[in-house]
Structure 1
Amino acid sequence: MSGVMTGARPAPEVLAWSRDLVRPALRAAVETLPGSVREIAGYHFGWLDEQGRPAAAGGGKAIRPALVLLAAEAAGGRAADAVPGAVAVELVHNFSLLHDDVMDGDATRRHRPTAWRVFGVSHAILAGDALLTLAFEVLADSGHPGMRDAARGLAGAVLDLVEGQGADTSFETREEVGLEECVRMAERKTGALLGGACALGALLGGGDAGRVERLRAFGDRLGLAFQFVDDLLGIWGDPTVTGKPTHSDLRNRKKSLPVVAALSSGTPAGHDLAALYRGEHELDAADLTRAATLIEAAGARSWSRTRVDELFHEALTHLSSADPASRPAAELHALAHLIAHRDH
């Protein structure tokens, strides 16, 4: 699992392979949607511009579909058999993005105006609903003998995601949020879908129950690491890379993992950050810079980075315990490294 094993592809090549394999089926599925939501979905995915004309905007890395395909191979199956699962997971992920952008009031995604800014809040929400429904239709139409278990597993991941998103939203109106409950929120909001993606791939690849659960645990730990990195990028990320403004999470007074770690640190910097977050005035550029400095001074940035490293190694332990096929195991290792080091 060194990642240099003969035949193992580097992460960028794996992601390109995954996109090439999944994109035709994804586009074919989206084409079956009613016209009103099909245009919004096409815009959100980067296939169309605001007027519905063909476009070539970036559609994201598509990490989750790659995890589905590689997990299927790791379990001894074929990636081709897991394509419906990869499409379904990508549809669920983008359902959540469409809704998240509305709930968070985010104005940009992938360097373009978000769908709700272009088409309106109601239409963006409905497009997200359509993608979620379509995900289960894709699984149902796959004809795979494990379809019932696949649908049940994906539904469980969606319910966890919704519960996590609900907790995240409730944190915004609460003055105090415990670090443990913030971590549990992130496990549901992000970890559950990455874990579900790996479990779904292993199931469609013919893996037994034990292997499915060990690959789920790999994805779950990796998903929590993903959220930690995402939260670090939400404060210190380069806008040219993230597609969002500098300090975007702080501007919204979001109680992300580093923020809650700082607020609960008991340090002078943490107390100052709490006072800043409690204020009712809109945070200006100076406030945002100060908030980021206080989070770092409270030790929350370094703590978050340490947790990412720990979760990365926990994920690899679960991957090894699944006794995966060697080449997909090395490629899953490479993807895990990419996820855990996106902020480097």
Structure 2
Amino acid sequence: MVAPERVHSTEQTLAWSRELVDPALRAAVETLPASMHRIAGYHLGWWDQHGVRTSAGGKAVRPTLTLLSAALVGGSPREAVPAGVAVELVHNFSLLHDDVMDGDLTRRHRPTVWSVFGIGAAILAGDALLTLALDVLAASGHPAAGPGMRTLSAAVQELVAGQCADVEFERRSTVDIAECERMASGKTAALMGAACALGASFGGGSAEQVRHLRVFGEQLGLAFQHVDDLLGIWGDERTTGKPAFSDLRNRKKSLPVVYTLASGTPEGGELAALYAGTESLTDRELRTAAELIDRAGGRAWGQAQADGLMAQALARLEHLPPAPATAELTDLAHLLTHRTH
């Protein structure tokens, strides 16, 4: 695989990152107890529920942010691999628990872990990945490992708080946009910020460089969540790997939904009536809800917010010395805010 400074497409950048991170990720997961190893490998797309090898893994966006952040401050991406592995483990811990809480039956075009192995097993596997993430950092022996563990732990606390708010919002009749954005900042932006901060730290960056890259990651993460919420309504099931209208089925107070409910429009009132019901929404009602959000401007607002946040994130890179990784991070930011899955 070519070095990152010679990569000319985001797909190649992601492939380069996976080539560096995947062996270390697999080695870490190998240390889990057999029961957890089997479930984690299934979730990560390495084999099916019968142990037959497959290739259905994720994109490894967060480790890529980590490695590129290390390169951007003049460090070696290879030295940042343990940080990239730790971030990916935490991300997958959150996915395992998220699928249980949302009751989602599919992820990455396959049955979710809890639907195959049971709820208890999925929760325990998530716990195992979380503790493994901290162990990987501790075992790295890198000078930045100690502070890195605190950085990652703080991000997990924010992630848990954001997820807790997300669940709470489902029981509330009203949620304002500021609350929803704070929830998204914890649920998604905190870990992306930590991914970039860890990469900069493991790359030997200064405190100021670490701070700029953390904010870059946080703003990119919030933009990512805006797009994720749009895909949760209008994403194509064939590309997202999740059921159509999945967020609406769960009556989630996602960003475009909250925008519409707070819009003061007739569409907002109609959507509020649909969300106030207790029966499962029919396919027709789901389509109606999506149309209401679109007509109220929620879809256009979400994409505009994502674009604005991405611009703010990229402005942070202007505070750092020019480097080949700048172009890679810029291209990745564009991909994450204009993706289809």
TM-score when scaled to structure 1?
0.96
Query: Secondary structure of 2:6's match?
Result: coil
Is the 1:8–1:330 Cα contact (8 Å) retained in structure 2?
Answer: no
Is the 1:15–1:62 Cα contact (8 Å) retained in structure 2?
Answer: yes
Aligned twin of 2:168: 170
Q: Which residue of the other structure, out of 244, 248, 251, is the alignment partner of 1:250?
A: 248
* Mapped partners of 1:66, 1:135: distance in 2: 16
1:81-230 paired onto structure 2 within 5 Å: 81-230=79-228
Query: Secondary structure of 2:318's match?
Result: helix
* Mapped partners of 2:86, 2:317: distance in 1: 23
Identity of aligned residues (%): 60
* Mapped partners of 2:319, 2:193: distance in 1: 15
Structure 1, residues 85-140: CA drift from partner, whole Å, max 9, x if none? Answer: 00000000000000000000000000000000000000000000000000000000
Q: Which runs of 5+ in 2 are unaligned?
A: none
Of structures 1 and 2, the one with the larger relative CO (CA 8 A, separation 6+) is: 1
In the alignment, residue 329 of structure 1 is paired with which amino acid?
T
* Mapped partners of 2:240, 2:120: distance in 1: 26
Aligned twin of 1:49: 48
Aligned twin of 1:310: 308
In the alignment, residue 25 of structure 1 is paired with which amino acid?
A
Is the 1:232–1:343 Cα contact (8 Å) retained in structure 2?
Answer: no
Aligned twin of 2:34: 35
Q: Which residue of the other structure, out of 330, 334, 339, is the alignment partner of 1:337?
A: 334
* Mapped partners of 1:296, 1:234: distance in 2: 13
* Mapped partners of 2:340, 2:174: distance in 1: 27
Moved beyond 3 Å, runs of 4+: none
Q: Say whether residues 1:275 and 2:273 are aligned partners.
A: yes
Is the 2:239–2:340 Cα contact (8 Å) retained in structure 1?
Answer: no
In the alignment, residue 43 of structure 2 is paired with which amino acid?
H
In the alignment, residue 14 of structure 2 is paired with which amino acid?
L
* Mapped partners of 1:281, 1:88: distance in 2: 41
In the alignment, residue 110 of structure 1 is paired with which amino acid?
R
Structure 1, residues 240-264: CA drift from partner, whole Å, max 9, x if none? Answer: 1100111111011111000000001
In the alignment, residue 317 of structure 2 is paired with which amino acid?
L
In the alignment, residue 86 of structure 2 is paired with which amino acid?
A
Structure 1, residues 6-42: CA drift from partner, whole Å, max 9, x if none? Answer: 8353111000000111000000000000011110001
Q: Which residue of the other structure, out of 69, 72, 78, is the alignment partner of 2:70?
A: 72
Aligned twin of 1:320: 318
In the alignment, residue 338 of structure 1 is paired with which amino acid?
L
Is the 2:240–2:340 Cα contact (8 Å) retained in structure 1?
Answer: no
Q: Say whether residues 1:11 and 2:1 are aligned partners.
A: no
In the alignment, residue 341 of structure 1 is paired with which amino acid?
H
* Mapped partners of 2:197, 2:76: distance in 1: 15
Is the 2:38–2:51 Cα contact (8 Å) retained in structure 1?
Answer: yes
Is the 2:66–2:199 Cα contact (8 Å) retained in structure 1?
Answer: yes
* Mapped partners of 1:297, 1:46: distance in 2: 38
Query: Secondary structure of 1:227's match?
Result: helix
Structure 1, residues 225-251: CA drift from partner, whole Å, max 9, x if none? Answer: 000000000000011110011111101
Deviation at 1:268, TM superposition (A): 0.5
Query: Secondary structure of 1:321's match?
Result: coil
Is the 2:32–2:128 Cα contact (8 Å) retained in structure 1?
Answer: yes
Query: Secondary structure of 1:226's match?
Result: helix
Q: Which runs of 5+ in 1 are unaligned?
A: 1-5
Deviation at 1:322, TM superposition (A): 2.6
Query: Secondary structure of 2:89's match?
Result: helix
* Mapped partners of 2:148, 2:97: distance in 1: 24
* Mapped partners of 1:285, 1:293: distance in 2: 12
RMSD: 1.2
